[in-house]
Amino acid sequence: MKIGRYNISVLEAGRFKLDGGAMFGVVPKVLWEKQKPADEKNRIAMATNLLLIQGEGRNILVDTGLGDKYNDRFKEIYAVEDGINLHRALAGAGLQPEDITDVIITHLHFDHAGGNTVRNADGQLRPTFPNARYYVQRQQFEWANRPSEKDRASYFPENIIPVKEAGQLELLDEGGPLFPDIELIIVNGHTPGQQLVRVAGEERSLLFAGDLIPLAPQVAIPWIMAYDLYPMTTLQEKKEILARAAEEDCLIIFEHDREIKAATVQRTDKGFALKETFSI
């Protein structure tokens, strides 16, 4: 798909599962299970949909998914599926890791930053993308180094420290333009310093909604994850961002939705709802 000066693709780089209750917060299961059925352990199917932005001499990847450094215990808890992974997703787009010029990380949770690094045969960790700059908000990087008891299970230093040690990490102090027509939007409800990515086009713009709106049903304002550190902040951020998206008829990419990867939204009397879904 073309958005302005860029070619845009969504790469599915992995599949896993998370607890449905945690994903929908205060929303009762009788409501959410109609949209996202749970397995016998109450987990729902999740994807890691990454954004590939190509143009202006760059191959920009937004988020890197789960990666492949996890052990058997992790694989069991999160029901990580074999077969779909970052390498294959890139190869499907005709790319090698060396071709990626820039990696924008929305935030450092393991299902967004797990593919940042790989382990060599000798056990050494190294950045997956040897020629890329990696962009993270400083606020998020600092939080990841000292997370709270609530969210420390989501952060693995192995996903970012080797990037820093290789000199490939760019810590950013604000949102705004990063490249021509590519803007970072900072939100703080899920975790401090999460950066969403907006690509501006003449006819239509695109928003990669990260963990602000990870699943399509979460365009409903109160459908907020229990993982969020500051849910009332998320609520306000969703209102503002969805209002702008509805007004602009912006295409929203849902990073964790297996079925609906992209959609536009519209205002309803209760808030917001999906308008049109896209396969991208």
Residues found near Zn ion in the complex (CB under 5 A):
109, 211
| Residue closer to Zn ion (CB basis): 109 or 261 | 109
Give helix then strand counts, H and E, for the chain: 8, 16
In Å, what is the CA distance from 176 to each residue of 57, 195, 202, 209? 21, 10, 18, 15
| Residue closer to Zn ion (CB basis): 10 or 200 | 10
| Residue closer to Zn ion (CB basis): 95 or 241 | 241
Query: The sheet that has 194-199: what strands, in order across it?
Result: 176-179, 182-187, 194-199, 206-208, 251-253, 262-267, 272-278
| Residue closer to Zn ion (CB basis): 6 or 254 | 254
Min separation Cβ 246 and Zn ion, Å: 24
Min separation Cβ 47 and Zn ion, Å: 14
Cβ-count burial 47-57 (b if 16+ within 10 Å, e if not): bbbbbbbbbee
The residue among 32, 27, 16, 104 whose CA lies nearest residue 62 is 104
Distance CA 112, CA 65 (A): 5
| Residue closer to Zn ion (CB basis): 36 or 109 | 109
Min separation Cβ 214 and Zn ion, Å: 8
Min separation Cβ 123 and Zn ion, Å: 27
Min separation Cβ 151 and Zn ion, Å: 8
